[in-house]
Every structure is written in structure tokens, then in C-alpha cells.
Structure 1
Amino acid sequence: MSARSHLRNPPGSLFRQAVTPRRYPDVLSMNTSGLADTSFTDDDTNLSSDLLNGDDPLGEAAAGSLFPEFLASFLKSSDLFDLLKDYQDLCRGKIAALQHAVLGSGRRSKTAVGVKWILQQELNTWRLINSLYRDRVQAEFGDDVMTDLPVPSESERLVVDQLFQCDKVVRQSQLVVDWLESIARDRMGHFADNIECYAKNVYWENTLHALKVRRTGSAALVTELDPDAPVRLQRPLVDLDREDDNRLLQDLFTLIRAGMIEQAQRLCKRCGQAWRAATLEGWKLYHDPNITSDSLRLQPVEGNPQRGIWKACCWRMAEEQQLNRYERAIYAALSGNIKPLLPVCESWEDCVWAHFKVMIDSLVEQELMSSGMAHQDADALPREHLEANWTMNKVFEELQATESKKVMEETTEHYHVIQKAVILEDLDGLLEDFSDWLTGPKPLPPHLLRFMTHLVLFYHSLGMALKEDVCVDVIKSYVGVLIKEDQWELVASYVSQLPVDVATVQYASVLETISQSERRKRCLHLANDAGLDVAAITKLVVETVLGRDNTEFTLHTHTLDNATTQEELEKIDIIDWLLIDPAHRAEALKQSNAIMRKFLAAQKLDAVKAVFSKLPENSVTEIYRQWEGQDTPLPAEDENAVREHLCIRAYLEAHKAFNDWTNHINSAPQRPDPAHQDKFTVRVANEMREKEYQSEYARWEVGVGHLTVKVKEIIHSILFGAWMVDSRQDALEDVWRSRQMATLRSLYLPRLCALLLHVLQRSNQHQEALRLADIIASDQHRLYEVFPKKELSQFLQRLRDSSLLLLDDGLDALGYQLKP
């Protein structure tokens, strides 16, 4: 999606006046309903994010739904700036919900205060990002908006309009001022309406009354009531009027700080100080449309033609030490005088607002001077103001030199650091700060990590060059938060934003911690929807878990405790990951074979059976079915895995057949002891028990015969079938697997031969038992190679016993009839 597509409603000419508090609805959302807070004090805005570590669930319950809601907005939105608006709406809604929750609970929740504060900071930051990057994208791609204006000759306003269109520093500085003023308005709530309740329409009425009645002690008061009287006469007002004046001036500055000059003027008029309202009017740039208009009808003139004189007066009033500090700050803000303005700036936002306001004022005056539009009276302003070399970086350098401990502490607060980087467009510095925070001693609040993650994703969507390793760390940290917050259904979507190899490792590490079968299936379904490589992930999960096994592949020749340990059970259960999707059945076969090889070496047959029982019976059929109709045959590795699986199954069947044979042999019916009495009834009973015994014994012998044949067939199929030998030699070489299979042959083939010999000897099939020697010595099967010398010697000794028994029966040593 091109950057141009993000600009569905380009704002056109955004700036009509310099250093004016004009609002731009298409850039900043001015919907502040519901943000006025009556339950939290002003001190709440200075809360540290440490408040989020409390145990009070009120705040977390109200804001916890932001995790899925932010992801839903991220996935559904196709326009970046619509997405930013969604983020703002989500934060705004949760702030209102937190306020409602606290009011409804009837108690002050420390956690709710902390969460509300951090969400308010996040909302402010999203608004700043929306404002600045809408302008930056538009400036880069909106050539139709940034049109060149003709050089103006008779209008201050046209000069400044052109400055704002052509100079992105001035334009974006004004956006920062607008943003900071909107924050101030949010905090005011209904303040602008409430402060007028005490307004009086008579100017200094208490002093006027004292002078009229010539009250005792009034000789020290002013004798005249013009606006300059207290300063000119060096005499005070009545205390009540002085207090009202001080409060009014503080309220006026609060309104001007919020960009509400018209409301400030209205308040002045209601308080009987219309002259003061007039002093707040002179900032407007002069523009006479009749000079360039072809119309015969005169149009009204805009602005102040004597703005230079007005501004010089404002500057001198701001320097007047006898005036109230808020009155000085008011005129300092209007004239660009930074020194009287800073003493009333109590927060980081206030100081940034003051510096950017002064910077814009200075740059505007310089532009007017260079264009020849400046009045001669402008020379009354100090040259350091008119020639100041202001930059955005210089603003924040000045902030670092502040003497306010509170402002200095706020400078290092997380969101203010982010806001500074956004204003300066210092992405490298921002990501360095992210890296420091992630490696810091304290864990970051969950909502801060959520914001950091979505900020990184926003920059990626814009195509900005970022430090990939830090972005990866941010998303991985947020994934950890989601898991901790039990938001595991959101994990796949965020992991899919990582590089492919990193995403595979990260999601595999997440799946390792999940044991519930249904949740495993759900996680893989979500991973598939998110475009992750599910096959690679599940394979890595299994390999990682199995790789933690530090025990070596060691052959145990003695019988061990056959009980399955907890660690072994974890290995067995991990196979479930590969069985969820039938497409991974070949991989499941390979990994289960690897587990069973180790269990076979340790003679843990119960564990081997447990692994084998995990695999669906149609696994082999499913593997071949997936390759039906393909142009290429089944890969050699898969075919060898199938053969190994069948070899292990054959051994388990042989082991079961031998156990069945052993149990049947040991369950032979016992001949009943006859009762020694001559009574007829006793003899009849003895005969009946003997017949019953003979019948049971006959059935037992038949069973022995059947079971003996079954054992012989299965073991013969193993001995003659190249057990644990690959059928395809063109597979990728796996040295460790080949060695393990050879080791298992050396353990189990001699044992199977011994079992078969035992069955044949117990069944009196000594001649067939002696034929085992031919089988072992055969060059076709080369079974003698897997026999250790000691075991081969013992095996031959047992064959000798069969030969002796045959000789005792009148046969030769091999069981053939002797010739007469």
C-alpha cells in the first residue's frame, strides 16, 4: 500500500495564521467528551508507571481487553491513519471506563489511577503521531497540496501562510503546539465554563467602594482606577480585588495555555476588563484582501495593522517586574518572550509548549523581516529574539538545562522520551531507548509494551528503516506479556510480524509450555491463519524438547527398572504436536522413531509401547497417500522412517508373542491328586477329574503349538528381514541414526535368537533349534556379526544341550535318524 493511499482526506492548507491557536479537526481529534476527570486529582498526571505493579485488579479488569482490541484494529484496518484513530478511540474508551469503575466502586484504586495515567499518556502520544506523520506523509507524497504560492507583497498573513506551507519545521512545530494545547484542554474538562461563575461585571468593585465611602485606611490605596494605576501610582488595590485579579490572571493563562484565547477574552469582558480582552486581540496578522481583489465591493480588512507596536508593548509588559507573574506570562506567550514564560510552566508539556511557541514566533518574525513586511516598530524587540537560530533539537537541549527538578524528572519518563523522538523523528535514538528499557532492571508495564509493539509495527507499515534486532526484542517481550496475561490466542499474529526464522523459534518456545490437547490444536490453527510455518514450528518444538535430554545413547545389557519417569513421559507427550495435522505424519514418524530408539537402548519397553500407541494406526497409509499422484516418489528419508517404524512394531509384536507364549506355558493345567478310597463314588469322581484334566491339557497343548508357531514366524521375519536396516541408501546421511540402529541390532537380534531357542527347546523342537546355527552362520543374513563373542559362545552351549537330548533319543547330533 503506497503512502499516498493513507491520505484519504488531505487537509489542504492547514495554517492560516502564525503563532495562533487554530484548530485542525482533520489532524487532531478534538472529541474530548468523557475525559474530564472528577475522581482523580491533578497529581495523578505525574504518577510513575510503578503504580501498575499493585495487586488491585480494578484497573487491570477495565483495561485488559485492550490487548485483543488493539490486535483486532491492527488486523482489520487497511489505512494507517484510520488505524491510529482506532487506537485513540480504544484508549479514550478505556480511560472513561476506568473513571466510571472508580466512581462506581466508591473507592480510590491505586492501580486504576496508574492504568488511567498510562493510557492517557498513550492516547496523547497516538494523537501526536497521527498529527505529525499525516503531515510528513502528505509533505512527501502530496504534491498537489504543497503548491507554490505567489510571493506576497502587501499581506503579513500571506507571507506567513507561504512560510507554513514551505517550511516543515515551522509547520510541524505548530502541530506540536496544537497537540500540547489539546492536552491542556482535555485536562481542563469543564474548567472554562466553571471559572466564569465568580466573574463580576464591575471592574475592581471593592476598591471603588472603598474610595467612594473614603473608608479609614484607604489613603494608601490607588486614587485612580485606570488599568495602569496600580503600577503608575505604586499603590495597591483592596486585598479582595487583588486576590480576584491574581486568580483571574492565573485562569487567563490557563485558557491561553490551552489555546482558548476567545474564551479568555470573553472571561475578561465578564469581569469588567474589556480593555484586557482588547490586549489579547492584537496578535492577528494583517491582511487587506482589497489590494489584490478585482471586486468593486470592499471586503473587510483582517488582523492588526499595528501588530508590531502591539507586540513590542507585550514584550515590555512581560519584562515588567511589578506585574503579576501570570500577567507577565500571558504577554510573554503572545510576544515570544521565553524568560517570563518559563516560571509558570510546571510540567514537561508546559515547557515544551513554551519553547515551541517562542520558536514559531521567532521564525515568523524573521520571515516577515526578510520579506520586507515587518513594521519598523518590530525593531523594539531584542535582536537575539529576531535573529535566534531556533531548531527542534535546540528546544529539547534547552529543556535539559531546566532548573525545575519536576520537569527534569518528567523528561526521562517513558512516554515523554517517545514523544520527543517522534517530534524529532529520531528513530535510531528511540530504538536505543527501547533497547535500554528492555534490558533494564525493572519489567516494563504491559500496556507500555503493547504501545511500543504497535508503534514499531506502525513504522514498519510506513516503510521506515528500523533496527531490526531491537524491533524483534520489543515484539518478543510483548509476546511474553501476552502469555503472562493469558492472552495466548493473540500470540500467533504478533509472532508472524517477526522474521521467518525468528518467528519459528519464538512460536516454538511458546508451544513448549502448552500441555492441553485442545489448546495445542487451537494454537496451531492460529499459527496457520497467521501465515506461520506450522511444520517447521512443530518440528522445532519436538527437537527442542528432545534436545534437552543430556543422557547419551547408551546400550543397557542388563534389565533395568522398566517404570517410565516423568521426564520420559514429557518426551512421549511431545509427539502430540506432530499428530495434530496429518500432513506432518512423516515427521511424527521420524521423531517417534528417534525417541523409541533411545528407549529401546535403555530397555524401556513400556515407554516404547507408549510412544507407539500415540501414532495413529493409519500413519503409514497416510504418508503414502500424501504422495499419491505426485511426480516424485516418496523421499528416501520418509521411506526409511516407515521401514524403521515397521521394524520396531515387529519387535513389539515378537515381544508380545513371546510373553503370551510364556504366560501360556506357565499356565499348564495341573493333574488332580486322586482320592485313595475304594468307594465307587470316589472312583467315579477321580475318573471325571482325570478326564477333565486330559481335555484341558489337550487344549493347552494346542495353544502352545499355535503360540509357538506365532513366535517362530514373527522372530523369523525379523531375523530374515534385515531388521533396523534402511531400505533406501540414497537418503541424506545421518551418522548418529545409523550408529544407533546398528547398536540396537547388536542388542536385540541376539536376544531374539535366544528367545526363539528357548521357545523351541521348551517345545521339544530341538532339531529346528539346531537350525538356528545355520541361520546365524549364513553369509546371506550375516547375523554372526551382531553377536558379541561371549553371547555367541553361550548360544552355542545351549545348542549343545539340544544335541545331547537328540542323542539321548537315539538320533544323531543334528536330529536325524542314525543309519543302521
Structure 2
Amino acid sequence: MSESTMNVESTVIDGSFYQPLESTRLIRSSNWSPNDTTIRSSKTIPCVTKSEQQLYKLYAQALADSEVTHDWSSWVEMMTINCQKCCSEAEISHPIAFRTGRQSQLSRNIRMLQIERDSWLLWNRARDTLNNTRQDLPEVIPGSSDRLIVEHHLLNNPQLRMAKAVQGWLQTTKLDERYQTDLKMAMTKLEPKRIYWEKTCHFLKSSYNANIPNPYITCLDFDAAHKQKRRLCDTDEQEENDLLQIVFSLLRVGEYSKAKNLCKSTGYHWLAALLSANELYHDENYYCSEANDIIYPVEGNQKRIQWIESMFELCMDMRLKLYERAIYGLLCGRIEALIPVCKTYADYLWAYTSCYIEQEIHHILVYAHQNELNDVDKHRVLSNDELGNHQLKMTTIFDEILADCPAHIRDEALLPFNQIEKYLILANYDRLFDSILSFLHTNESNGSLLRFSTHICLFLYEQNHSENFNQKNFIEILTTYIGHLIELEFKDLVCYYISKLPLNNQSTLMATFLDTLSNRQDKEHYLKQGFTYKIDIDTSLLKLAANQQREQTFDKNNTDEIISTNLKNLNENDHKQLEALKLLTTFLSTQTLDALRFANRICRYFLNDAKYEGIRIALSYFPHDIDIHTIEANNRQQSEDDLREFKAFGAYIAAIEAIQRWSEMHQKQQQQQDNTSSVVRDDQAYLPIVIKACYGVFDYAQGWLLDSTNIHQSLPDNESRQIEMSILRHKCIPMLACNLFRIFDLIKEDQETFRLIVFLSDNRKQQLYSLFSKETLNSVLSLTEHAAERCLDRKQQQQQTDDTTAISYFL
């Protein structure tokens, strides 16, 4: 895709903000409402940072590139990188926003961008679950590796793969800059030591006396406090609490090695050993080549099954500290021990996912080693109700969170991004689309959410997952995003996204988009762009023309609407219709019957409103000598009546213009009574042109605005078209005849009056007098009566003159 095609025009204020955009919500544009697919948007247009403006372009560019390379994995990675870059740039602009008074607004935007970035990270990690891709793994040698047993199972279990991806994602997103800073500050309080409980040990060595009551422990066993029911020195107690909390914080972000090293550096070797005991057993010496003389150390805990059983009971011992129980619960997969230390929805999801993974691994190993266990161990392990009582499943984790969590966690879980991430994790794409639409319908959407969800939907659609969701939902989501781009004035991206719609929807959206453009040059530009993206421009233009149709009353009984020769100005809707006609005649691939029919439709409207200038403009868009050979060959037989109708409007406009021209001449004659010679000659000379133009309407071949074939009877709009043409015949022909009668009356052309009245009553000429209303007929008869009286007067005067002449002769 060329750089010019994907160009995003932008205006920046204070180095960071797009000037026309003010708030954090989407709005519905008054000009934007495509057919039945309603665009859902919120109350106001969002404030968009400069970097976020670029993000819209980068998303489209990455999507276009992936269509060429078909490398969708790189596309997802690129979307993540682009979003991360946008977050960084927005954070840099934060001081500028503080000076301009938009700090809180930008903070919200940055937070939404961070959530959008995190959602891309999730999809980047989890997308491999869409395909069950196998890897080459060595066969497991019995008794040699628990790790390989789990890895083989992982390849065949997409839910476990997804859980591992979600766990890694939650650990990565938690480890942000602020979290790292807090961890470092907390760790500075812990001093390196050779042994733990240093102050208590010092007390035992220096001042312990068995004869004096002592509240402190008397030995340094790690479980001494529980066995002796005594406590540590206050300093050691506080340090141990701090250590346990820091260790849990490190485990929360997956930093197991750092947690073990911290325990060792502070003398808590027993805690480091506990963390190591969770590792899966693996002996690499079974799998190395025979020629290799290196002996590898054995990794992990060979007795992990039994160890897990002990930890499962220990983590619920209420004598232990809160974070100690949480650490043990994490290691053995007991969720009850973890819930008390979870503070956010992400913590809950991480805890449940981690426990699900540990439980799955434990059951995998139990069934893998059941033949190696003795009868006592086998009975104990396989019949342990506590281990199987709360067996988690990835499909039910989210329901269990909502059932057990506090109200504020439940509210957080129901936020839009969290719900979308939920259905991505569950690969429930139908519910994903329904969820997105639900947020759009309830105006809970924003730019980041709409941008992310649209591109996820596009990814799934391009990857042929459309059988897993309702395509109508996909169309509505993408339509909403297109409306969002239009509202933000990112019009150079609109045609590209329209091309992503199914073919039968592209034309409707393209027509609606063109309708939002007020400048004809812009319409021509985006029509060319749409042609580049292989959008059906012909159909789009026809739908654009159909969108310009307006309701209008054609009432022949309403005498107030009888057409006059007075000029009426065109309004905005009229100009839009003419622009649509201009585009039809310019951009359609063939000179078209459809353009001619649209021209006739708007000419009927203009004629009904006496807007003759609109008819003149419409006529000018077609060749002056247009005939049936001008129409494309396959439509020539169907265009006969349309061509006759089109030329009928031309004949009528010629008659109106002739009458208007004659009226101007007659007014000059009235103003120049003293010098009438030249004016009268012009007036008299122009009268035959007026008569010819009017008779061109009265004597129109086979009738003015009448069809000569039955072609239109099969068209859906034939009934309304026939009604409109009939009403216009009843209005226009009487009006034209009355104007001509008045001209004859003004200049006393009585013979022309009689000729016209005879013509109108001629049966061979469709009895045009039948189109006249009673009032109009009375007016015509009155004018005819005046003409007859003048003829009789002239005859009587002539008779008197002849008699006088005769008498004079005889005298």
C-alpha cells in the first residue's frame, strides 16, 4: 500500500493533541447511518494524541503488509510493537498535557493504550492455540523425566497451552516499571545474612536462661514457632513478613530464580529449597549421545507427587503467615490459599490459572506414575478427596472468579477489555463478537477498545474462523469502526477498511461514506481510491444516488403547488442529488441507463417544485444529442421510454425558457411606450419561437411524459413513477397552455387562441383538455371568450367601415 494512500492528515496543538477532538468517548455523526447496520457510538468524540493518530495508520499498514506476506504471526507482533511505541510516546507527552490542563484526560488515554497493548500481548502469546502444532520431542524413557511427560501432554492439550500462555501474559503485564521500582525499594530493606532469624539467634546465644520465662523460640528449626508455640523477635518477625511478601511478589511475575536467590542471600535456605522442590524432575543423561562423556546434573524433584500432597495440607495451616500460605498454595495449586492475597481481577485470574496448571501437572504425573507407586501410595494419592475436590477447569475459571470474588473485583471483571480477553482465552468467538456488540450498543466503547476489537475480528475473519461466529456481527463491528474513522477525519483509511467487508456490504458503506463528503473533489478522490481497493464503484454510486432520494408529495389536487414560471432556488439536498448525478455520469464504467433513470427521477422532483435550474443542470450532464445509440448496447431496448422521458424534460424547459424570454421582451415594451418600433418587432419576431416550443410539448411524440412500451411495468418503482408522471402532466400542460393563452390575449393573437383551443380538444392529440381542472378550464374559456368578442368587434367595426365606404361612394 502506498504511503499516499495510507496518509493520515492531522493537526496538532501543543505538540500532542489533535485539535478538533475533545473528549474520551465516541459520538454518532449526524451524517453517518448505514442501512440496517446501525453504527453504535457514544456521546462525544475522543481526544486523540498525536501518537495515537499514527496508531490508526500503523494498524492499517501492518494489516495491509500481512495480506501480502501472509505472515499473520508477524502482524500480531507488529500490532503489539506499534501499540507499545504509541504508549511510550504518549507518556513522553504527559508533561505537555500537564501544562495545557489536559493531564487527567491524557492519563485516561494512556491507561487505555496500555490495556490495548496488554491485550495484544495476550493475543500474541495465545494465538498458537488456534492451531495444534506439534513439535519434535524425544520419546519419554520410563523413570527419566517428568518434564518430558508434561511437555508431551502440553502438545495435545490446547487448554493447558492456553493456560500457560495466559499465566505468562499476566506475569509480563504485571511486571511494569512501577512494579519493578516497588520491588527494588522493598528489597533494599532486606540485608544479606548468613542465617535467618539473626536477632533471635543472637538473643539465644547472649541472654537465654532456661530458668527465666522466655516468649521466644529456643531452637532455629524453620518450624520451631509452630512446634513450640512461641514467637520470634519483633525485628525477625517483621523481616520474615517482608521477605515472604517480596518472594510472593517475585513469584507473581514469574521470577522464581530471583526469589530463590533472595531467600539464599537472606539465609532462608529452607524456603529456597521449597521453591526448588516444585521443579519437574528431568535427567538429561538418559537423552544425551553415547559419545558424550559429560555427566549432567539431575534437575527437579523426583518425589514431586508426594511433596505436593504435603504442601496441599500445609498451605491451609492457619498458624502460618498469610503470604507463606499463599506461596505454598501457588506451588501446589490450592486456590483457597491464594485468594486472600489477590487484590485485583488480574491477580485473581493469575491465581486461578496458576492453580489450574499445577493441578493439571499433578494429575498428569499421578496417572503417568501410577504403576510405579506401591499399593499404599497409590491408594492414598488416587483416593485423596481433597486434591480432587476443587479440580479447576479452564472453561469454568471465569465463572468461579465471579462467584467467589468481592464486588469490586466482579465489577472489574465485567469491564469491556476484560470480557473481550476472556472470550479470546476461551476461543469462544461467537460470544466474543456478541460481547463487543453489547459494549457498542450500551455506549461503553472507546477508541482503544473499538480499534483492538475490530482488528481482532479482522484477524479471525482473514484466518477463516468465520464459521465460529455470526458474520452479521463482524459486519456491524467493522462498520462501527469505519464510522469512527470518519468521525475522526481519518478518511484516507476508510476505503481500505470498507474493502475488508463482504462484497455485498462494500457498496452500501462506500455510498454512505461518499454521502458524508461535502466537496465533490473529495468524492472523486475517494472514488478513485475505492477503485484501487477493488470496491464495486458502479454499485456504490447507484446506492449513493438512491440515498439522495427524498420524500416529496405529488398532489394534483393541491392548487397551491401548481407550477409557475417563477424561478426557485436549489437547496442543499438538491445540490447533493445533482452531485450524485454528476458522479454517476463521470465514474460509471459505461454510459448508463441507471444514470438516465436517476436523472429522470430528480427532474420529476425539480419539475414538481418548479426548480427549473436543477433540470437545466441535470440535462447538461448528458450529451446534447443523446439518443438510443448513446446507451450501452445491452440496455438499448430497455431505455426507449427513459430516453423519451429525458427528452420530454428538455422540451418542457425549452418552452419555459421561451415564455420567460418573451415575458422579458413584453415588459420592455410596456416600459418603452414612446419608442416601440424595435421592441415590437423583436416581440413579434420571437412569438413563433414561443409557439413552436410550447407545441413541442403539446404535440410531443406519443404524448408528453407517457410511455410507449411496457418495459417499466416490471420495475419496482413503476407504480410511483406512473403516478408522478400523471400528476406532472396534469400540472405542467395546463400551466403551459394557460401561459400561452395569456400571451395570445395580451397581444390579441385571437387566431392563435382558436387554433390552440382546437388543438387541445383534438381526439388525435390525447384530448389534452381532459388534463385541465375545472378552474383552469374556466380561465381558458374566459380567455377564448375574450378572443371571440374581439373578433366579433373587429368584424362589426369592419362591417361599419364597409357600410360607410359604400355610402360615401354612392354620395
TM-score, with structure 1 as normaliser: 0.78
| Structure 2 partner of 1:21 | none
| Structure 2 partner of 1:120 | 114
| Structure 1 partner of 2:222 | 227
| Structure 2 partner of 1:302 | 299
Instruction: Determine the C-alpha separation between the residues in 2 that align with 1:49 and 1:310.
Output: 53
Instruction: Determine the C-alpha separation between the residues in 2 that align with 1:599 and 1:49.
Output: 41
- Residue 91 to residue 379, structure 1, CA distance change in 2 (3 Å): farther
| Structure 2 partner of 1:70 | 59
- Whether 2:366 is the aligned partner of 1:364: answer no
Instruction: Determine the C-alpha separation between the residues in 2 that align with 1:338 and 1:96.
Output: 36
Deviates more, 1:333-342 or 1:761-770: 761-770
Instruction: Look up the equivalent residue of 2:481 and give its one-letter code.
Output: Y
Q: How far off is 1:598 after superposition?
A: 3.8
- Whether 2:580 is the aligned partner of 1:577: answer yes
Q: How far off is 1:522 after superposition?
A: 4.0
Q: How far off is 1:56 after superposition?
A: 12
- Residue 221 to residue 550, structure 1, CA distance change in 2 (3 Å): farther
Correspondence 1:541-620 to 2 at 5 A: 541-549=544-552, 552=555, 556=559, 568-581=571-584, 582-584=586-588, 587-602=594-609, 604=610, 607-613=611-617, 616=620, 618-620=622-624
Q: How far off is 1:253 after superposition?
A: 0.6
- Whether 2:87 is the aligned partner of 1:95: answer yes
Instruction: Look up the equivalent residue of 2:785 and give its one-letter code.
Output: Q
Query: Are the equivalent residues in 1 in contact too, given 2:499–2:534 (CA < 8 A)?
Result: yes
Instruction: Determine the C-alpha separation between the residues in 1 that align with 2:167 and 2:501.
Output: 36
Query: Are the equivalent residues in 2 in contact too, given 1:553–1:740 (CA < 8 A)?
Result: no
Q: How far off is 1:708 after superposition?
A: 2.0
- Equivalences, count: 731
- Residue 404 to residue 375, structure 1, CA distance change in 2 (3 Å): farther
Query: Are the equivalent residues in 1 in contact too, given 2:330–2:354 (CA < 8 A)?
Result: yes
Q: How far off is 1:171 after superposition?
A: 2.3
Q: 1:262 aligns with which of 231, 243, 257?
A: 257
Instruction: Determine the C-alpha separation between the residues in 1 that align with 2:557 and 2:492.
Output: 41
Q: How far off is 1:157 after superposition?
A: 2.3
| Structure 2 partner of 1:731 | 711
Correspondence 1:29-428 to 2 at 5 A: 60=49, 63-78=52-67, 79-106=71-98, 109-137=103-131, 139=132, 142=133, 145=135, 149=139, 152=142, 154-186=144-176, 188-190=179-181, 193-202=184-193, 203=195, 204-211=197-204, 213-214=206-207, 219-291=214-286, 295=290, 297-300=293-296, 301-372=298-369, 382-385=384-387, 389-428=391-430
Instruction: Look up the equivalent residue of 2:438 and give its one-letter code.
Output: D
Corresponding residue SS for 2:711 = coil
| Structure 1 partner of 2:795 | 807
Instruction: Determine the C-alpha separation between the residues in 1 that align with 2:60 and 2:502.
Output: 19
Instruction: Determine the C-alpha separation between the residues in 2 that align with 1:779 and 1:405.
Output: 87
Please list the CA deviations of residues 301-349 of structure 1 after superposition, one character each: whole Å capped at 9, or x if unmatched: 3333343454344334423322221122112211222221221122222
Q: How far off is 1:579 after superposition?
A: 1.0
- Whether 2:748 is the aligned partner of 1:748: answer no
Instruction: Determine the C-alpha separation between the residues in 1 that align with 2:256 and 2:142.
Output: 28
Query: Are the equivalent residues in 2 in contact too, given 1:590–1:641 (CA < 8 A)?
Result: no
- Whether 2:659 is the aligned partner of 1:659: answer no
Q: How far off is 1:214 after superposition?
A: 3.4
Correspondence 1:457-606 to 2 at 5 A: 457-464=458-465, 465=467, 466-549=469-552, 552=555, 556=559, 568-581=571-584, 582-584=586-588, 587-602=594-609, 604=610
| Structure 2 partner of 1:679 | none
Query: Are the equivalent residues in 2 in contact too, given 1:54–1:111 (CA < 8 A)?
Result: no
Q: How far off is 1:250 after superposition?
A: 0.7
- Residue 293 to residue 515, structure 1, CA distance change in 2 (3 Å): closer
Q: How far off is 1:634 after superposition?
A: 7.3
- Residue 643 to residue 182, structure 1, CA distance change in 2 (3 Å): same
Please list the CA deviations of residues 122-143 of structure 1 after superposition, one character each: whole Å capped at 9, or x if unmatched: 2222222233232322x1xx4x
- Residue 637 to residue 365, structure 1, CA distance change in 2 (3 Å): farther
- Residue 561 to residue 207, structure 1, CA distance change in 2 (3 Å): farther
Query: Are the equivalent residues in 2 in contact too, given 1:63–1:115 (CA < 8 A)?
Result: no
Please list the CA deviations of residues 1-57 of structure 1 after superposition, one character each: whole Å capped at 9, or x if unmatched: xxxxxxxxxxxxxxxxxxxxxxxxxxxxxxxxxxxxxxxxxxxxxxx999x999998
Please list the CA deviations of residues 35-83 of structure 1 after superposition, one character each: whole Å capped at 9, or x if unmatched: xxxxxxxxxxxxx999x99999876555344334333333332233222
Instruction: Determine the C-alpha separation between the residues in 2 that align with 1:550 and 1:189.
Output: 72
Q: How far off is 1:262 after superposition?
A: 0.7
Instruction: Determine the C-alpha separation between the residues in 2 that align with 1:578 and 1:708.
Output: 35
Q: How far off is 1:281 after superposition?
A: 1.4
- Residue 793 to residue 341, structure 1, CA distance change in 2 (3 Å): same
- Residue 565 to residue 401, structure 1, CA distance change in 2 (3 Å): farther
Query: Are the equivalent residues in 2 in contact too, given 1:146–1:165 (CA < 8 A)?
Result: no
- Residue 575 to residue 298, structure 1, CA distance change in 2 (3 Å): same
Instruction: Determine the C-alpha separation between the residues in 2 that align with 1:287 and 1:666.
Output: 116
Deviates more, 1:612-621 or 1:648-657: 612-621
Query: Are the equivalent residues in 2 in contact too, given 1:593–1:644 (CA < 8 A)?
Result: no
Query: Are the equivalent residues in 2 in contact too, given 1:156–1:368 (CA < 8 A)?
Result: yes
Q: CA RMSD in A?
A: 3.9
Query: Are the equivalent residues in 2 in contact too, given 1:749–1:786 (CA < 8 A)?
Result: no
Instruction: Look up the equivalent residue of 1:800 and give its one-letter code.
Output: A
Instruction: Determine the C-alpha separation between the residues in 1 that align with 2:96 and 2:604.
Output: 64
- Structure 2 residues not aligned, in runs of 5+: 1-23, 27-40, 801-811
Instruction: Determine the C-alpha separation between the residues in 2 that align with 1:560 and 1:654.
Output: 16
Q: 1:709 aligns with which of 676, 688, 698?
A: 688
Instruction: Look up the equivalent residue of 2:148 and give its one-letter code.
Output: L
Query: Are the equivalent residues in 1 in contact too, given 2:648–2:700 (CA < 8 A)?
Result: no
Instruction: Look up the equivalent residue of 1:646 and give its one-letter code.
Output: G
Q: How far off is 1:541 after superposition?
A: 4.0
Correspondence 1:689-708 to 2 at 5 A: 697-708=676-687
Instruction: Determine the C-alpha separation between the residues in 2 that align with 1:326 and 1:599.
Output: 81
- Residue 66 to residue 641, structure 1, CA distance change in 2 (3 Å): farther
- Residue 255 to residue 703, structure 1, CA distance change in 2 (3 Å): same
Instruction: Look up the equivalent residue of 2:473 and give its one-letter code.
Output: V
Q: How far off is 1:757 after superposition?
A: 4.5
Query: Are the equivalent residues in 2 in contact too, given 1:400–1:408 (CA < 8 A)?
Result: yes
Instruction: Look up the equivalent residue of 1:222 and give its one-letter code.
Output: I
Corresponding residue SS for 2:559 = coil
Corresponding residue SS for 1:399 = helix
Instruction: Look up the equivalent residue of 1:334 and give its one-letter code.
Output: L
Instruction: Determine the C-alpha separation between the residues in 2 that align with 1:415 and 1:428.
Output: 16
Corresponding residue SS for 1:183 = helix
Deviates more, 1:160-169 or 1:256-265: 160-169
Instruction: Determine the C-alpha separation between the residues in 2 that align with 1:564 and 1:650.
Output: 14
Instruction: Determine the C-alpha separation between the residues in 2 that align with 1:215 and 1:626.
Output: 115
Query: Are the equivalent residues in 2 in contact too, given 1:207–1:238 (CA < 8 A)?
Result: yes
Instruction: Determine the C-alpha separation between the residues in 1 that align with 2:106 and 2:157.
Output: 43
Instruction: Determine the C-alpha separation between the residues in 2 that align with 1:797 and 1:536.
Output: 57
Query: Are the equivalent residues in 2 in contact too, given 1:575–1:591 (CA < 8 A)?
Result: no
| Structure 2 partner of 1:793 | 781
Q: How far off is 1:660 after superposition?
A: 3.3
| Bigger RCO of structures 1 and 2 (CA < 8 A, at least 6 apart) | 2
